[in-house]
């Protein structure tokens, strides 16, 4: 089996609102749900708008052909609620990006709580708040 090592660069903002990663082909901006949305809301915060404006600036007037926005939640509410919330958050991000770049081809979707990036339970069975926070995010992917 051919295995290639692909370098991935990562950077983040000073307030943890966004973390960027890139494999040289695709860039992913992962926006923290705790900074970009209020609890159980899909309305963008002012900080979220600043982060999205910074993403648009990174494109230097040459937006990518396609941008994919995917929303994720923690597992606090039921599956159906989390699915809907993740879709609404992804759509809010997509709508904001297209308000800044009307010609942008943006696809949005939500994964709800189905693709966690961290455990929400500690080894002793207690709630892992950091894990829950990590699972609340929206990914903006282009490249």
Residue 130 makes CB contacts below 8 A (sequence gap 6+) with 118
For 38-74, the pLDDT digits (tens) are 999 999 999 999 999 999 999 999 999 999 999 999 9
CA distances from 109 to 113, 114, 139 (A): 13, 13, 10
Would you state the structure tokens that stand for residue 78, as one six-digit string? 């039921």
- Reported as a single tens digit per residue, the pLDDT across 116-132 is 999 999 999 999 999 99
**Separation between Cα atoms, residue 17 and residue 29, nearest integer Å:** 10
Domains and CATH numbers, the chain: 9-142 (3.30.1330.60)
Calpha distance 137→124 (Å, rounded): 25
Please tell me the pTM assigned to this model: 0.88
């Amino acid at each position: 089996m051919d295995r290639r090592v692909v370098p991935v660069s990562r950077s983040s903002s000073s307030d943890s609102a966004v973390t960027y990663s890139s494999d040289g082909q695709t860039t992913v901006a992962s926006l923290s749900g705790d900074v970009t949305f209020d609890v159980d809301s899909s309305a963008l915060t002012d900080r979220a708008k600043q982060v999205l404006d910074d993403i648009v600036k990174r494109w230097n007037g040459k937006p990518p052909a396609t941008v994919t926005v995917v929303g994720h939640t923690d597992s606090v509410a039921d599956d159906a609620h989390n699915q809907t919330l993740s879709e609404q958050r992804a759509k809010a991000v997509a709508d904001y990006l297209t308000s800044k770049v009307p010609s942008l081809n943006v696809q949005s979707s939500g994964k709800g709580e189905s693709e966690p990036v961290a455990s929400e339970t500690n080894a002793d069975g207690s709630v892992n708040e950091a894990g829950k926070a990590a699972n609340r995010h929206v990914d903006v992917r282009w490249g």
